[in-house]
Amino acid sequence: MDVTSPAVVPGAVKPASWTKRVRQLVEGNLPMDHLLPDRQPYYVGSWVYVFGVVTIAAFAWVIASGIVLAFMGPQWWHDSGLGHFVNSVHFWSVQLFFLFMVLHLWGQYFMAGWRHGRAATWMIGVVVFGTSILAAFTGYLSQQNFASQFVAVNAKDAMNGAGIGAFFNVLNFGQMYGLHVMLLPIGVTVLVVMHIVMIRARGVVKPIDAEGGARS
Amino acid sequence: MKLKPMGATQEEYYRGVRMVPYDLVKELVLAMAGVGVLALLAAAVFSSPDVAPVTIAAWAHGDPVDFVTTATGELAGSTTSAGYGNPYNTNGPGQSWGPIAPQQWFGNRIPIDSASTYVINPLQRASFSNADLGTALNTWQGAGATPQASWVDAYTKALANATVSGGQVSVATGDYGPLPVMMSNLLGVAQAGGLDGLLMINGRFYQTDYTQALLFMGDGSYLSGLAQQWNLTGSQWGMMNETGWYPGQTWLWLYTMWYQVFPFNSDSGVLGLNAGNADLGIIILMTLLTVALALVPLIPILRDIPRWVPIHRLIWKQYYAPKTTRGSHLIDRR
């Protein structure tokens, strides 16, 4: 890789063109061989690294099945066998997504994955987890079945008690459905992309050193 | 956060570490395929939960006494939603913890008058071609608060021993004013499915807001009775469960757990936190815990535990292998 590109040369004169500046910023922070590397440190062979990639894979299935459900409309998964099957794929992909994400989170905790300047990557990961919980919650409220009714009736107390219910009305299907199929998936996707870009930009963290490398 | 120029830094970071070929795209494609097979198999074999929702008509047919008792409570202002407070009305104080009272701060944003919404307005529509009902409504609305309270009190007590015949609710003879006629008609409207529609319309044609209907059903015991059978109630760990044997939102285990433990399951509690303001207390607690999780890299002890607990040695087994073999993996660890 060319490590002497203008973007990384100390003291280099910044170009007048904003477009060139953005391009150099991107190229300098995330060259293609970091975004799609074909070589990794040998210790990346550990099975724990798989949890991250399977989380992304499950998320892709959640989005794909969700797009079909959103396109066909809220009645489809109740009235048609195929619709119910796609709904089932969505349901189980979500379960797998959370299972893998929690395993990834615990794995990264015990690897202290935030070391060596990666704290923001960890923090964005926690925000991904929280936003995903909200996305799943609105999904359970959008199912239009008995569970949705009872979850809504009970969850309103928590939302209202915290003052959130005045703006986030869990009894309003239209609001929950809109958030679930549009805003929250976009939010999770953007955050996941940020998380991955930060990982690829910095590379995976080194193993915890016996000499005390956990801090920093 | 400003990223350092990674063009130089990543190479510097890995200097001396043995790099091996790694096909990231292939790994992602294989993961997509593997997870896809799992999801498709689970969908084909286990399907997914979809128990039909309860309608007000089903409630009025399934438990007419509970329906009439709830409707009478709405008229009297004694149901949960009638005395809820914000955001539905100002009849209750809402939850607070010392000066922290967000339920009060944001006001009455979703106003619902229980007596009008659930009883008076639907009956006024139904009285269009029903002279008896029109007379009963006029009697009720023309009476003062004292006779109204007396009728409601007597009728509510009588409903405890009510009988059901042919879908109609009968109570012992007594002075209930116009209530038996009003409630008999409201039950009939509900059983015919009229109340489901009336609570949804609200002057609009297109409608996606179920707030009124769900609050009404939540005030009765029919919905929660069914939920009990499906293990969905709060004391049964609520949202972690789904109907049937399906997993629910299992990732909410920590949130639902707090409702089962002191002080959130206690009437007296401690430091002002108790079952009465459990929702607010638990939301505050979970917010703090989530922030703490995000800030783990900055919190001493929490950030040091991974170094003390040798799970990382299991994860990076190859790296921590005895020196005789490790030398072949690592050229320079710094």
10 Å CB burial of residue B207 (0-12, 13-18, 19+) is middle
Whether pLDDT at B324 is above 60: no
- Per domain, the residue ranges of chain A are 47-111, 114-204
Number of domains in chain B: 3
B334 within domain boundaries: no
B327 — pLDDT class (breaks 50, 70, 90): very low
Region B162-186: what's the mean pLDDT? 94
Q: How confident is the model at residue A50 (pLDDT cuts 50, 70, 90)?
A: very high
Place of tokens 């999801």: B39
Q: Please report whether residue B332 resides in a domain.
A: no
Residue B333 domain-assigned (yes or no): no
Residues B98 and B206 in one domain: yes
Among A18-32, B5-19, B133-147, the minimum mean pLDDT is found in B5-19
- The pLDDT value recorded for residue B13 is 86
Q: Which of B119, B142, B140, B275 is nearest to B212 (CA)?
A: B119
HSE, side-chain direction, 13 A CA sphere, residue B233:
11
The dihedral through the CA atoms of B26, B32, B35, B41 has a sign that is negative
| HSE-CB of A86 using CA atoms within 13 angstroms | 21
Whether residue B160 sits in one domain with residue B22: no
B235 and B311 belong to one structural domain: no
Q: What average pLDDT score do residues B211-238 get?
A: 88
In this structure, what is the dihedral angle of CA atoms B213, B219, B221, B227, given to the nearest 10 degrees?
60
**pTM of the predicted model, to two decimals?**
0.90
The ipTM assigned to this model is 0.89
pLDDT interval class at A34 (50, 70, 90): confident
**What radius of gyration do chain B's Cα atoms show?**
30
Whether B11 and B120 share a structural domain:
no
CA distance A28 to chain B (A): 6
Which of B7, B279, B333 has its CB closest to that of A3?
B7
- What would the pLDDT profile of A171-194 be if each residue is shown by its tens digit? 999 999 999 999 999 999 999 999
Amino acid identity of residue B171, one-letter, is V
Q: How far is A182 from chain B (nearest CA, A)?
A: 16
In a domain, B70, yes or no: yes
Are residues B239 and B311 located together in one domain of the fold?
Answer: no
- The residue of A56, A149, A168, A191 whose CB has the most chain B CBs within 10 angstroms, and thus the best one to mutate to test that interface, is A149
What is the three-class DSSP state of B234?
helix
Give a yes or no: residue B188 inside a domain.
yes
The verdict on B92 and B152 lying in the same domain is yes
**How many beta-carbon pairs under 8 angstroms link A with B?**
324
Averaged pLDDT, B139-145: 93
Task: Look at residue A213 and tell me whether its pLDDT is greater than 60.
Answer: no
Residue A125: per-residue pLDDT: 97
| Domain assignment of residue B266, yes or no | yes
Does residue A13 register a pLDDT over 90?
A: no
The tokens of A136 are what?
A: 């799943």
Together in a domain, B143 and B265? no
Taking residues B259-276, report their average pLDDT. 92
Same domain? For B193 and B286 the reply is no
Q: Which residue in chain A has the smallest CA separation from B231? A: A147
Q: Among residues of chain B, what percentage have pLDDT more than 90?
A: 72
Which of B189, B223, B257 is a domain's end point? B223
Percent of chain B having pLDDT more than 70? Answer: 93
Terminal-to-terminal C-alpha distance of chain B: 25
Lowest mean pLDDT among A161-170, A201-210, B43-52: A201-210
Is the pLDDT score of B319 beyond 50? Answer: yes
Contact of B125 with B198, CB cutoff 8 Å: yes
From chain B, the residues in CB contact with A143 under 8 A are: 50
- Asked if A40's CB is within 8 angstroms of B243's CB, the reply is no
Average pLDDT over chain A reads: 90
Q: Where are the alpha helices (DSSP H) in chain A?
A: 18-29, 32-35, 50-72, 76-79, 81-110, 119-141, 146-161, 173-178, 184-202
B92 shares its domain with B172: yes
- B286 and B308, same domain (yes or no): no
Q: Say which amino acid occupies B204.
A: R
pLDDT tens digit sequence for B33-79:
999 999 999 999 999 999 999 999 999 999 999 999 999 999 999 99
What confidence category does residue A212 fall into, taking pLDDT thresholds of 50, 70 and 90? very low
Q: Do B109 and A166 touch (CB under 8 A)?
A: yes
pLDDT of residue A196: 95
Q: Is the pLDDT of residue A215 over 50?
A: no
Residues of A in contact with B11 (CB under 8 A): 1, 3
The first and second tokens of residue A124, run together, are 């964005």
Kindly state the percentage of chain A with pLDDT values over 90.
76
* Predicted confidence (pLDDT) per residue in A67-89, tens digit: 999 999 999 999 999 999 999 99
Residue A5 is predicted with a pLDDT of 43
The domain in which residue B289 lies consists of: 230-294
Residues B162 and B178 in one domain: yes
**Distance (Å, whole) CA B109 – CA A160:** 11
Q: What pLDDT shows up at residue B37?
A: 98
Residue bearing the bigger pLDDT, B185 or B245 = B185
Q: Say yes or no: B116 and B210 in one domain.
A: yes
| Domain assignment of residue B331, yes or no | no
